[in-house]
Each structure stands twice: as C-alpha cells, then as structure tokens.
C-alpha cells in the first residue's frame, strides 16, 4: 500500500514519497526543496507559515498517490 501524506509528515519526507509532490508544494508557494526547514517542519507547520489550507494541500498530495494506484 502506498504511503499517504499526513499533516505530521515532514516536508522532506513528502518530497521523497512522490515526484509530483514538489510541483504541488510549489503551486501553493511552498518552494521547500532547498529550504533547511524542510527536514524539520511538518506539512502542517509549513502550511500554517504560508497561510495555506492544509486540508486542500493534503487532498491534492494524496490525489497523487490515488492516481498512482489506479
């Protein structure tokens, strides 16, 4: 079973789960690929810092996983 994106997941982990995560995060203004905080910050804290709706972000990220399973 593919790993699901969760609010507790570190940004760096999210980037490793699916190659499309980088593009999703970038669309939301979270250009975290080279950010030092990416190794320590969760998706939830990153979303708060960037004033992003966490539920929408997670839904889009998990959509990547769902499409990959199909």
Q: Is 41 left (phi over 0), alpha (psi -120 to 50) or beta?
A: beta
* pLDDT class of 39 with cuts at 50, 70, 90: confident
Q: What is the pTM of this model?
A: 0.89
Of 32, 29, 28, 36, the C-alpha closest to 16 is: 32
Q: Sketch out the chain's domains with CATH numbers.
A: 11-64 (1.10.3910.10)
Q: Look at residue 70 and tell me whether its pLDDT is greater than 80.
A: no
**Confidence band for 34, pLDDT divided at 50, 70 and 90:** low
pLDDT value, residue 10 = 93
| Beta-bridge partners for 65 | none
Q: Is the pLDDT of residue 1 over 60?
A: no
The H-or-E segment that residue 47 falls in is helix 43-49
DSSP conformation class of 9: S
């Amino acid at each position: 079973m593919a790993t699901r994106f969760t609010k507790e997941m570190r940004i760096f982990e999210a980037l490793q789960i699916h190659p499309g995560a980088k593009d999703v995060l970038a669309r939301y203004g979270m250009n975290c690929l080279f950010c030092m905080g990416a190794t320590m910050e969760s998706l939830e804290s990153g979303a708060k810092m960037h004033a992003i709706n966490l539920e929408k972000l997670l839904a889009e990220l998990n959509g990547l996983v769902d499409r990959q399973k199909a």
